[in-house]
Structure 1
Amino acid sequence: MIIFLDESGDLGFNFEKQKTSRKFVITLLVCDGADGADGFKRAVRRTLKNKLNHKKGKDRVVQELKGTGTTLTIKEYFFRQISASGWGIYTVALNKVRVEEPLRSKQGKKKLYKVRKQKKTVPVRPMFPGLGQPMEGNTPGT
């Protein structure tokens, strides 16, 4: 099993600062094995080469696919390049505005960490059940 992790947002709670995000999101791409991971890498390379960096003499070369900076047409092309099975996408989103005040402090964050350490597994479900085939079990590592 190969896991790719991406996060979005920051861990701060000072919402008076303009750059403080309201949410913190962690997304996992879980591939059953090396074949699935290699398929994703190949799809990214093809999409970059054929859709974003296909013009010669461009000053700027795009190095990665960004969700917000990529058109729907390019995203559809990317998804046509990957296999329909052997992987899953999982996301955890924290609405930081709803976190109670005592948990926003350093001590509160330690308390949350201790609770998380005691819990061995967290049930998860695919964010996009129509994409990819369900993997064995419904928790990572099973």
Structure 2
Amino acid sequence: MSPALPPILLALSEADQPTLVFWIITALVATGPAAYYWLKIWDRFHPDPADQSKLATKEELETERVKVRQELAEVEKRIAVAHKMEIQGLENRLGTIQTGMHGIESSMREIFGELRALHRSLGKAEGILASQD
């Protein structure tokens, strides 16, 4: 009949057996945390399969896509209206500026006309003063 223990363990004397037990317990204590962290690493890189019930169906995605497109169209319309109103406001301001510039131009023409008349009058007055000397 063959012994149940391996020959290397049978070769140990009774004095060596407590040392063997000590090393076995030490090995178990050392491998416990190592095995725990290896399992954590395994779980980290091999997660459970995704829960399919949380995923959206194609119909739900399509309805959301339609909603988003409608919202974008509404925003684009609001932006276009705001842009158009801003352009109209700028055109009105430009018209006011142009009207003001035309008024300034007509005032300057009147002033230049009066300056010419004043220049002619001064020339006549100089001529009269020069003839009296």
**TM-score if structure 2 supplies the norm length?**
0.18
Q: Which has the higher strand share?
A: 1
Which has the higher relative contact order, 1 or 2, with Cα contacts under 8 A spaced 6 or more apart?
A: 1
Greater Cα radius of gyration, structure 1 or 2: 2
**More helix, by proportion:** 2
Normalising by structure 1, what TM-score? 0.17
